[in-house]
Amino acid sequence: MSPLEDPTNKIKNFLYEKYYQLTEAMLIQKYQEWIDFSQINYPAPVWIGASVAMCIFTGIISFALSTLLISEFTLIPYSFGLATLILMLGYPYLKKEAIIDSIEKNFSDALKQMADTLKAGDTYENALREVVEADYGRLSEEMQLALRRMEDGENLDTALTGFANRIDSIRIKRTVTIILDSIKTGSSLSDILNEIADDLRDYQRLKEDRKTSTTMQFLFLIAAGGFIAPIIFGEIGSVISGFSTIGTRELNMDAPKDIFLTTITQLYIIIEVIGSGMMMALIREGKVNKSIIYIPLLLLVAFVMYHLSKIVITSIVVGSI
C-alpha cells in the first residue's frame, strides 16, 4: 500500500484541510466584523479583491513612471504595490481603531451623565436614554443599540455585554464588568460611575501627555527613516556609479549596471522604513498594528528622496569632470 493510500494519511490530510478552511473562515469573519463596525458597505471578499486589484494597478503605474524617470533598476513598483495592499487591507482596522478611540474619549462624560441621572433616582434604562439623546457620536449609536435590545425584552446584563463585545475595547469591557458586578452586589452605582469616569479621564490625559512627550522621538524617526538614511544611501550609490561611469568613459566602455548593489541598498531602505514605522507606532500609539499607516507613507517619501539624491549627486559628479 502506498503512503497516499494509507488511511491514517487520508485522515490527517482531511483534518489539515478542514483546519485551514476553518481558519480561513474565522479570519474572513473577523475581517467582516471590522468592515461592518467601520460602516464600510462592502463584503469582506469584495474589499479584499479590490485591495489586490488596487495593488496591481499601483504596481503597473509606478513601474511605468519609474521606467520613464529612473534609468536604473528600482524596487519602487514592488514596494509601492505592497504598500497600497497593506494600506487598503488595513483601512478597516484603522477606521475601527479611530472609532474606538472616539468612543473611549466620550465614555467618561457619558458615565458622568449616567451617574447624575441615577443620583436623581431615575432607572438604568433612562440613564442609557440620556446618553443616547446627548449625542456623543458613535458612542450614542452603540448605546442606542443596547437600549433597543432592552426594549425588545433583553435584560441589562445581556444588553451591556453585547455593547462591550461589539466595541471590542479592553477599557470599556472592564468598565461594563464593574458596572454589572456593582448592580448584582447592590453597591452605589452612581459613585462607582463617577470614580470610573475620573479614571478614564486620567487615562486619556496620560495618553495625550505621552504623545506630547514623544513628539521629538517621533519626528526623529520620520527624519531618519524617510529623509536622512535614503539621502545618504542615494549619495553613496550615486558617487560609486558616477566614478564608474567616468572610468568606463575613459576606456570607451559601456558603464556596468550594478543591479545587485542597487537591489541590496533598496532592500535595506525598505527594511529600515518598516523598522522605523513600527517604532513610530509603538512610541506614538503604543500599538505596533498602527504602523500600517506609517510604513506606506514613509516608504513613499524614502524612495522619492533616495532617487532624487542619486539623480542630483550623479549629475554633479559626472558634470564636474
Task: Show me where the domains of the chain are located.
Answer: 102-204, 214-321
Residue 6 has pLDDT above 70, yes or no: no
Q: What is the pLDDT of residue 245?
A: 59
Residue range 18-31: mean pLDDT, rounded: 70
Q: How far out from the chain centre does Cα 118 lie?
A: 39
Cβ-defined contacts of 155-162 (< 8 Å, 24+): 156/124, 156/125, 156/180, 156/183, 157/183
DSSP conformational letter for 51: H
CB-CB contact of 60 with 114 (8 Å) = no
Residues 75 and 203: their CA atoms lie apart, in Å, by 43
Closest CA to 279 of 265, 295, 267, 266: 295
CA angle 261–262–267, rounded 5-degree value: 100
Q: What is the pLDDT of residue 249?
A: 56
The band of 4, judged by pLDDT with boundaries at 50, 70 and 90, is very low
Residues 273 and 233: their CA atoms lie apart, in Å, by 13
Residue range 141-170: mean pLDDT, rounded: 86
Q: What is the DSSP string of 141-190?
A: HHHHHHHHHHHTT--HHHHHHHHHHHHT-HHHHHHHHHHHHHHHHT--HH
Residue 155 has pLDDT above 50, yes or no: yes
Residue 56 has pLDDT above 90, yes or no: yes
CB-CB contact of 114 with 129 (8 Å) = no
Residues 112 and 97: their CA atoms lie apart, in Å, by 24
40 Rama sector, left if φ>0, alpha if ψ -120 to 50, beta otherwise: beta
321 vs 298, which has greater pLDDT? 298
**Span 72-89, pLDDT tens digits:** 778 888 888 988 998 899
Residue 234 has pLDDT above 50, yes or no: yes
Residues 24 and 253: their CA atoms lie apart, in Å, by 56
This prediction's pTM:
0.80
Q: Which of 17-26, 243-252, 296-305 has the highest mean pLDDT?
A: 296-305
CB-CB contact of 279 with 205 (8 Å) = no
Least confident of 208-212, 238-242, 261-265: 238-242
Q: How far out from the chain centre does Cα 207 lie?
A: 18
153 Rama sector, left if φ>0, alpha if ψ -120 to 50, beta otherwise: left
CB-CB contact of 101 with 140 (8 Å) = no
**For domain 102-204, which architecture applies?**
Up-down Bundle (1.20)
Chain mean pLDDT for the chain: 82
Q: What is the pLDDT of residue 314?
A: 75
Q: What is the pLDDT of residue 74?
A: 83
